[in-house]
Amino acid sequence: VTLATYGDMVFQSLIAADELAKQGIDAEVIDFYSLKPWDQATLGESLKKTGALVVAENHQKRNGFGYEAAVWALQNAPVPTELIGLEDTFAESGAYLKTLDKFGLSGAKIADKAARLVSKKR
Q: Domain coordinates of the chain in residue numbers? A: 2-121
Is-contact 49 28, C-beta < 8 A?
yes
> How far apart (Å, rounded) are the C-alpha atoms in residues 104 and 16?
12
Distance CA(74)–CA(93), nearest Å, equals: 35
Q: What is the pLDDT of residue 122?
A: 63
Single pTM value for the model: 0.93
What is the assigned CATH class of domain 2-121? alpha beta
Please tell me the predicted confidence (pLDDT) of residue 54.
98
Residue 95: pLDDT above 90? yes
Confidence of residue 59 (pLDDT cuts 50, 70, 90): confident
Mean pLDDT on 28-52: 95
pLDDT beyond 80 at 46: yes
